[in-house]
Structure 1
Amino acid sequence: MSFFGFGQSAEIDIHLDGQETRKTAEVKTEDGKKEKLLLYYDGETVSGKVNISLKKAGSKLEHQGIKIEFIGQIELYYDRGNHHEFTSLVKELARPGEMIAHTSYPFEFSCVEKPFEVYTGSNVKLRYFLRVTIVRRIADLVKEIDIAVHTLSSYPDMNNPIKMEVGIEDCLHIEFEYNKSKYHLKDVIVGKIYFLLVRIKIKHMEIAIIKRETTGSGPNTFTENETIAKYEIMDGAPVRGESIPIRVFLAGYDLTPTMRDINKKFSVRYYLNLVLMDTEDRRYFKQQEIILWRKGDKQRKPNLQAQNTLVASHLVKNEPHQDNKENQNTTNNQSQQQSIKEDFTRANNSQSTENIHNDPFESKTTEAPIQNMQREAGDGQIDTEASAEQ
């Protein structure tokens, strides 16, 4: 209802260019549900048009100006009154005046910097959104629309396997290995556990993926641990010399890239937690941090067959001398073999699930001295203070 200038006298609709064909991404909301948002990447242009329609035909809308903003902000749940904006761009759509008919305003934010990925956690939320404001003397009309942003990474230059020896003094000595220390979000964790000394009665063993979210700083630091996945990898007492394989597929879980000190507000880190339980229900654990990163879509390789067809047609067209033709064919065959060899080398070097059958422990590993396993506190929940020290 519009009475003495109050109420919603116009409707605002934001239409983004290419939204019918643009990819979408599921983003978690604060209530735990998921919504699909249009997906953008760092450096991409955000453009479209703002449609403003009057609710009552023949009426007019007086305003003090119309603007659109592109905003990236971080909201800490314990400090909801303050929104920390790390990106803020403004475009003026219309100067003060009167609107007497439905109007459309185009807009464009060219090559916008989007340095961080959207994230909704236990104590913090990072979002990107467009906000249209019709400035009025009494009450502004505002419309917001969120977008999703993903940050892509390339394959890390250094990605050594992890090898560590842990145990309980004079009771248990185990060695665990993981094939890499950095994994993309669709990767597979491959590893094994080798028992060197067993003098306690172990009932079972499990491995879990833990997400640790840290917000704030100093005395206002809050840490939240969330178990993303848990696997039982052994049931029963092991013997000395026994080896337990590990294989965890990451694609089925709601994971984000590792985030460290995002705008000095929060961090998100991931750990593999190895837990042993003895027959007296005592639980011992050891955590190892892993780095997660988002891999871009695969690029299509050049069609070698099509290239060879073009080369052959070119040779037939020119009809060279027989000796020259044989030399050119030899050169082309060598070039084709070299290209195939290079493609094979790239395929072997790529980190995809197609390579999980290879032995992941042939390369040099990162070794560490023997470390003691931690005893879990209370009813089996992770002792966060002891974990943080690790």
Structure 2
Amino acid sequence: MAYFFATPVDIDIVLDNADDRSMVDVKLDKNRREKAPLYMDGESVKGAVTVRPKDGKRLEHTGIKVQFIGTIEMFFDRGNHYEFLSLVQELAAPGELQHPQTFDFNFKNVEKQYESYNGINVKLRYFVRVTVSRRIADVVREKDIWVYSYRIPPEMNSSIKMDVGIEDCLHIEFEYSKSKYHLKDVIVGRIYFLLVRLKIKHMELSIIRRETTGAAPNQYNESETLVRFEIMDGSPSRGETIPIRLFLGGFDLTPTFRDVNKKFSTRYYLSLVLIDEDARRYFKQSEIILYRQAPDPAGAQNQIMASAPDNSSKIMPGVHSMQ
């Protein structure tokens, strides 16, 4: 039975300079990863397509085309795809193939306005699609690429300072040196204890990614803790200062995304958590902006100012939040 559904043709898509191009290790799911070639905004996407009839048999077709497509796939929305970019080139007019044939394609200076993203409920992807049209059933092959969008380091980058606590029990000051970080940056800060009447067991700093997809009333929010870093073990004393130094380069982070194509947003928060001897948790969250800085800032093709963060800190629901 499989014979009747076997495709009568093999299609190979080869991108130019594939061996010299940087590759991105992409997380598909919890246990699967794959590598995709890296492209930038404004860069041409070109290569060659080889169409090879199987077993030397003659292949009749009603046309061969190649497309370069950018889509946003919403997993909760019945797998609906929203195309924000679609370019097409005709490779062959209707006819027949009996021998392998190679076709060149070149999508010049393509604007890729968004960075690729593979999240919990949404995926933004760019890919080359080749379609051999036939009267019975089309034969389609796709090849994904990955896109980075670099940003110029922001001119203004204010620190985050906050004075929080629980009345007559706990009073602390915490400070992070800045509010915007590139993906290889270091979070530097300190925590100063003004009043400690709780028996604190330990304290940790977490990075939380919050993905928002869709629009009200059909809006979905997913939060995941990407990093959990213990910064203190044992009860602090009044007047004690705890330094913070957290290197971001070793973690699977993306830039902050704001209302991408009116479909999704991705925000990051620093969450300071204190746990007492009764396992009660006290916490405070502050939003930070993450951006991708070019390895050579002068050489980036698309440099856009990093967007400003929301200056208001966020208090998340839980057992206790520090005011």
TM norm. shorter chain > 0.5 = yes
Q: Which runs of 5+ in 2 are unaligned?
A: 300-310
CA–CA separation in structure 1 for the residues paired with 2:55 and 2:108: 35
- Structure 2 residue corresponding to 1:94, chosen from 92, 95, 102: 92
Higher strand proportion (structure 1 or 2)? 2
**Which residue number corresponds to residue 21 of structure 2?**
22
Letter of the 1:376 counterpart: G
TM-superposed deviation, 1:237: 1.4
TM-score (norm 1): 0.76
Does 2:58 correspond to 1:60?
yes
Does 2:80 correspond to 1:82?
yes
Contact 1:166 1:373 in 2 (8 A): no
SS where residue 62 of structure 1 aligns? strand
Structure 1 pair 236–206 and aligned structure 2 pair: CA distance change class (3 A) = same
CA–CA separation in structure 2 for the residues paired with 1:128 and 1:54: 27
SS where residue 56 of structure 1 aligns? helix
**Which structure 2 residues correspond to residues 1-150 of structure 1 after superposition, within 5 A?**
7-30=6-29, 32-57=31-56, 59-150=57-148
**Which residue number corresponds to residue 192 of structure 1?**
190
- Structure 2 residue corresponding to 1:286, chosen from 284, 287, 303: 284
Measured against aligned partners, the alpha-carbon deviations of 1:316-357 in whole angstroms (never above 9, x if no partner) come to xxxxxxxxxxxxxxxxxxxxxxxxxxxxxxxxxxxxxxxxxx
SS where residue 217 of structure 2 aligns? helix
Letter of the 1:95 counterpart: A
CA–CA separation in structure 1 for the residues paired with 2:212 and 2:147: 21
Letter of the 2:142 counterpart: E
Contact 1:284 1:374 in 2 (8 A): no
Residue-pair matches, total: 312
**Which residue number corresponds to residue 307 of structure 2?**
none
CA–CA separation in structure 2 for the residues paired with 1:202 and 1:270: 26
Measured against aligned partners, the alpha-carbon deviations of 1:146-190 in whole angstroms (never above 9, x if no partner) come to 111111111111111111111111221110000110000000000
Moved over 6 A (4+): 371-375
**Which residue number corresponds to residue 376 of structure 1?**
318
Structure 1 pair 42–258 and aligned structure 2 pair: CA distance change class (3 A) = same
TM-superposed deviation, 1:100: 2.0
Structure 1 pair 81–183 and aligned structure 2 pair: CA distance change class (3 A) = closer
CA–CA separation in structure 1 for the residues paired with 2:239 and 2:158: 25
**Which residue number corresponds to residue 247 of structure 2?**
249
Letter of the 2:318 counterpart: E
Contact 2:285 2:314 in 1 (8 A): no
**Which residue number corresponds to residue 172 of structure 1?**
170
Measured against aligned partners, the alpha-carbon deviations of 1:107-157 in whole angstroms (never above 9, x if no partner) come to 000011111111111111111111000000011011001111111111111
Q: Which runs of 5+ in 1 are unaligned?
A: 302-367, 378-382
Letter of the 1:24 counterpart: M
CA–CA separation in structure 1 for the residues paired with 2:48 and 2:116: 23
Structure 1 pair 373–227 and aligned structure 2 pair: CA distance change class (3 A) = closer
Letter of the 1:122 counterpart: I
Structure 1 pair 76–299 and aligned structure 2 pair: CA distance change class (3 A) = closer
Contact 1:284 1:375 in 2 (8 A): no
Contact 2:21 2:38 in 1 (8 A): yes
CA–CA separation in structure 1 for the residues paired with 2:273 and 2:133: 58
TM-superposed deviation, 1:7: 3.2
Contact 2:69 2:86 in 1 (8 A): yes
Structure 1 pair 372–18 and aligned structure 2 pair: CA distance change class (3 A) = closer
TM-score (norm 2): 0.91
TM-superposed deviation, 1:81: 4.0
TM-superposed deviation, 1:374: 6.5
